[in-house]
Amino acid sequence: MQMSTWSDMYRQKCKSATEAVKLVCSGDWVDYGMATSQPVLLDEALAARKEELHDVKVRMALSLAPRKVVECDPTRETFTAMNWHMGSYDRKQCARGSMFFLPMSYRNEPSMYRDILDVDVAMIMVGPMDEHGYFNFGLTVSATEAITKKAKRVIVEVNEAVPKVRGGRGEVIHISDVDVVVEGPRREMPTLPFVLGDDIDLKIAKMVVEKVPDYATLQLGIGSLPNTIGVMIAESDLKDLSVHTEMLVDSFYKMHQTGRLTNKYKEINTDKTAWSFACGSSELYEWIDDNPSLSAFPVDFINDPFVVGQISRFISINSCIDIDLFGQVSSESTGFQHISGSGGQLDFTDGAYRSPGGMSIITLRSTFYDKKTNQVHSRILPTFRDGTIVTDPRSQVHWIATEYGMTNLMGASTWERAERLISLAHPDFRESLIAAAESMKIWRKSNKK
């Protein structure tokens, strides 16, 4: 078919945001997608219907700006907001009871949409339609295709500022699969500040980077500590590194700039940086835009432990909140306070361990300072506080790193785990941790105190 056919179809489907959201009915399940794919005009228009709707459930993930359906209805009289992975805005809404969390292992999100979940209306921000009738999902490929394929009705909000990403697969939707097109103003993509850590983070980063071999394939998490590690890798003399990561961040762009990143030696998607969604600086987005050396895929491919395990020297580097003496890792909550989400940490913890010559490394600072109580607390705990969620079970945890060293927990017994983890704790807390280990019968009398 000719471009004129797609253009005619486009014009026929164009409506205002106010008209478009009339597709939403009371009782519907609505999906906003994740991060940069979340709509703006459609969110505002749907919120304006608060008084005429009831029991509308809205799924989203990692909101990078306030959501109007939440702001207009904090007591959830009409809209019930649910979130797969919480950013700072979502965390605050969850704490005040205006939003609920959706647990998942990130690799399973597309299959949950395909096989389990209902989507009545999907509202997704996309780039302009091309000459073949396709809209690009931009920086969030993730589970977006699965959401739109499951939806009974699809509304796209067109934004000229959305970068065009290369697939891979699952990065586009065709005009014939769209019910309504809403044209929005050019709205620059939200960015995340690239924050580096302090001297403690630098100490941890140095130990971690020493474990990274030449020709490694990397996955990095989000935060000041992974950022610090990423910059140190970029400034190192490591050779021919590759990337296979759920989240494409500025650290990888810096590795590209310094010549560390070539993707020559990974067995899958050779010569390509493989990723699923991106958040970072405007410079990162410019690098991504229509770049044939980058390949975006749905997250059920990127995060599949079977896929990761086929890539040699796969090094997964993430951070956590707490770890207990049994080796359980929490990266999403502290007690009943929800902080982020499971994300893909368990996916890569499993996959990197399967990789020939690979390893999973979970990093954390040994302590944190509580401003409310003016006290310092250990992040290595005898057992978790009530309500704390286990992100990585002890059976899947490989390497752990703090500023006091690194240790391998895989294959270690309960007493060996206690001994190794206490050696990574701040010295001020080691005696109390030993006493707790003794009371839990996981401390050998022969252990040195």
Annotated binding residue 321: yes
Which one, of 94, 194, 109, lies nearest residue 146 by Cα?
A: 109
Beta strands in 307-409 (DSSP E): 314-319, 322-324, 329-330, 333-334, 337-338, 359-363, 367-370, 375-378, 380-381, 399-402, 405-408
Question: Please, what sign has the CA dihedral across residues 159, 82, 279, 242?
Answer: negative
- Cβ atoms within 10 Å, residue 96: 11
Q: Where in the sequence numbering do the catalytic residues fall?
A: 246
Pairing of strands 359-363, 399-402: parallel
Between CA 294 and CA 39 the distance in angstroms is 25
* 224 annotated to bind ligand: yes
Cβ atoms of 121 and 23 closer than 8 Å? yes
* Residue 323 assigned as binding residue: no
344 a known binding residue? yes
What is the C-alpha to C-alpha distance for residues 354 and 125, in angstroms, rounded to an integer? 36
Amino acid identity of 81?
A
- Count other C-beta atoms under 10 Å from residue 414's C-beta: 16
Tokens in use for 448?
A: 């040195």
To the question of whether residue 223 is assigned a binding role by annotation, the answer is: yes
Q: Could you tell me which residues are annotated as the binding site?
A: 221-225, 321, 344
Q: Could you tell me which residues are annotated as the binding site for CoA?
A: 221-225, 321, 344
